[in-house]
Amino acid sequence: MGLALPTASVVQLVALVMVLDTMAINLNQLLHESSDINTNLLVLIQIFSFLTMILGTYFIGKLFGGTGSFIHTIMMLCWLNLIVVLFQFLQVLVSAVVTFLPALGFIGVSIQSLVTGFSLFLFFWLYVHFVKVVHSFHSALKVFGGLLLSILVIAFAVMGLFNLLMI
């Protein structure tokens, strides 16, 4: 957060994160021969998800008395997503090894599950602590509770919106 990056650099960082994330997903689809989703649609979903995460993190943090700036929130989420993307590429690599070396059997699938589980744990752990730092909160447990509550509220809001659009 000590970096004073210009806005153009932050926008480029967001674009880089979106491209790397889309590449990891496309590689995984290519590996499993399930290219059902259009890459352009995937990019739009990634952008919408990241924008929702940025806005949610910033505004919900402010709602609970957070002091973080919008630009620091974006930079923190970019850093978090870069770490997550590295684990996505690791998952693709492990998946490729398991696919092309079926002799690994149970051990390969177990390693694949461990990497997936660890990356999910790491995401939540890093997110909670990054939000704690950006918004100057004191309790990681309260941030985690706020995260779970926010996910629930946003999920219900999106489901309600989809329900309205379907009628």
Per-domain residue ranges of the chain:
7-166
pLDDT of residue 62: 94
Whole-number average pLDDT of the chain: 87
Does 33 have pLDDT greater than 80? no
- CA separation, residue 55 to residues 49, 52, 79, 83, 97 (Å): 10, 5, 16, 20, 38
pLDDT of residue 113: 86
pTM of the complete model beyond 0.95: no
CA dihedral 62, 65, 67, 68 (to 10 degrees): -40
| Higher per-residue pLDDT: 33 or 11 | 11
**Span 1-30, pLDDT tens digits:** 677 778 888 889 888 988 888 888 888 777
CA dihedral 119, 143, 78, 41 (to 10 degrees): 70
pLDDT of residue 25: 81
> Quick one: average pLDDT of 125-148?
94
